[in-house]
Amino acid sequence: MDQRIYSVTELTREIKELLERSFPRLWVEGEISNFKRHSSGHLYFTLKDANSQISCAMWRFRAGSLRFHPEHGMKVLVEGDIQVYERGGNYQLIVAQIQPAGGVGALQLAFEQLKKKLHAEGLFDEAHKQPLPPYPARIGVITSPTGAAIRDIISVLRRRAPGVELLIYPVRVQGEEAAEEIAAAIDSFNRYGKVDVLIIGRGGGSLEDLWAFNEEMVARAIYRSRIPIISAVGHEVDYSIADFVADYRAATPSAAAEVAVRDQAELKGQLAYYRERLQKSLLNRIEGYRNTLESIRSSYAFRRPQDQIFQSLQQLDELQRRLTRSMSHRIAINTGQLETLRKQLLAMNPRAILNRGYSITYKNGQVVKDAALLARDDQVKVVLAKGSFQANVNAIGDDNE
């Protein structure tokens, strides 16, 4: 017999060399099944299609760079090397990287997975979102110290509300450490207090560039913030996880600054409106008292210039003139004069006059001011400070008789 006789080890060795040489780094497409994440951090799964399957292993140091979570049933593209295990007499695909198959990028998939997870946990709930303070005195800004974002925010705030203070916490807005820095900045502001609202964000970029704002730790930091947060990540069309969790999403950093503060000019306008309204109101009140005084004057026939009421009317007229002028010249009215007037008016009110002993006489329901209009035996009604009585006219006289 001239057949070469292999030992098991020799045969396996040759199989190993043949396979590992024939199948260096390659890409395989298939469906994941029996996915297991070992406590060691290594991933084990089977990649299969309709007719075959192959065992796969991804070591922890490589698995760490995965952005999305591979799942049972997911269709993927796997890059790796074939490795034969002599001990076990089997082979495995040692995975270098995994991509989702079917056009969706790894980042996009990771985004969808996290969005779904956090949404289910309630991090995007409207009920949890805080209202923005209408008149913040201090605004905290978490963004890159370079770049257009911070300059846009500063220029908008300078125009709209120069009186509002800015407190900036510079961070990296892309790269490995960005998410951690952003989350730490949010927590720092919450510990520091002393700001009324936070703006976090950055300028435009690719999904990779904006990725820090899609990280779970940033989302959770935003969610637990007791200070309201406006997020402004990228351009109009970019929606990040941070945008969903934030209390308000602005399309751009400039828009964030616009929504954070009221326009100062608008506030000044409102103050002018209130000034006008209060002055008009008081004028109306005084007008009202003036009319009352006028009717008292005509009712009681107080015509002599020395009378207090006549003087009061004159003072009121003067006050009115001054108030009307003050509405265009902004002079405060002399409230001391009003105080004097107030005392006089109190004295002039009908009840006070009756209390001093005066009475009102009515004939047929009409007030009688002139005795000449009465005749003997007329029935009159007389109203006193307390009560009234009917009377019969006996005799008519002149003034003060």
Partner 1 sequence: MSKKQTFEEAFKRLEEIAALLDSGETPLEESMKLYEEGMKLIKICSEKLEQAEQKIRKLSEKADGSFEETDFEPLPE
CB under 8 A: which stretch of 18-26, 86-94, 183-191, 238-246 binds partner 1?
183-191
Q: Which is nearer to partner 1, 166 or 313 (CB)?
A: 166
Residue 151 CA to residue 156 CA, distance in Å, equals 9
Where do the DSSP E strands lie in 136-213? 138-143, 165-170, 197-202
Closest separation between CB of residue 157 and partner 1, Å? 7
How many residues contact partner 1, by CB under 8 A?
Answer: 51
Please state the separation of Cα 392 from the chain's center in Å. Answer: 77
Q: How many CA atoms lie within 13 A of 75 on its CB side?
A: 7
Cβ-contact 219, 241 below 8 angstroms: yes
Interface residue with partner 1, options 335, 364, 392, 400 (CB under 8 A) = 335
User: Among the residues of 195-334, which ranges form H helices?
Assistant: 216-224, 241-245, 253-260, 264-300, 308-329
By CB under 8 A, tell whether 328 contacts partner 1.
Answer: no
Q: Rounded to 5 degrees, what are φ and ψ at 111?
A: -60, -50
Residue 340 is a binding residue for partner 1 (CB under 8 A): no
CB of 315 to partner 1, least distance (A): 13
Binding mask 275-294 for partner 1 (x = CB under 8 A): x-xx--xx-xx--xx-----
Listed in sequence order, the residues at least 6 apart from 4 whose beta carbon sits closer than 8 Å to its beta carbon are: none
- Decide if 274 contacts 327 (C-beta within 8 A): no
Are 13 and 86 in contact by the 8 Å Cβ rule? The answer is: yes
Complex with partner 1: residue 271 or 372, whichever CB lies closer: 271
Which residues make Cβ contacts (< 8 Å) with residue 207, sequence separation at least 6? 105, 107, 108, 111
> How many CA atoms are closer than 13 Å to the CA of 394, on its beta-carbon side?
0
Alpha-carbon Rg for the chain in angstroms: 45
Nearest-approach distance from CB 209 to partner 1, in angstroms: 15
> Which of positions 119-138 make contact with partner 1 (CB under 8 A)?
133-138
Minimum distance, C-beta of residue 164 to partner 1, in the bound complex (Å): 7
Amino acid identity, position 321:
R
Question: x/- site string to partner 1, residues 141 to 160, per CB under 8 A?
Answer: ----xxxx-xx--x--xx--
User: Which two three-digit tokens encode residue 193?
Assistant: 């207090």
Candidates 107-115, 120-128, 297-305, 334-342; binding stretch for partner 1 (CB under 8 A): 334-342
Asked if 271 is part of the footprint of partner 1 (rule: CB under 8 A), the reply reads yes
Find the binder of partner 1 among 111, 124, 189, 248 (CB under 8 A). Answer: 189
Site for partner 1 in 209-268 (CB under 8 A): 264, 267-268
> Whose Cβ is closer to partner 1: residue 106's or residue 132's?
132
Query: Which residues in this chain contact partner 1 in the complex, by CB under 8 A?
Result: 133-138, 140, 145-148, 150-151, 154, 157-158, 162-170, 188-189, 191-192, 196, 264, 267-268, 270-271, 274-275, 277-278, 281-282, 284-285, 288-289, 332, 335, 338-339, 342, 345
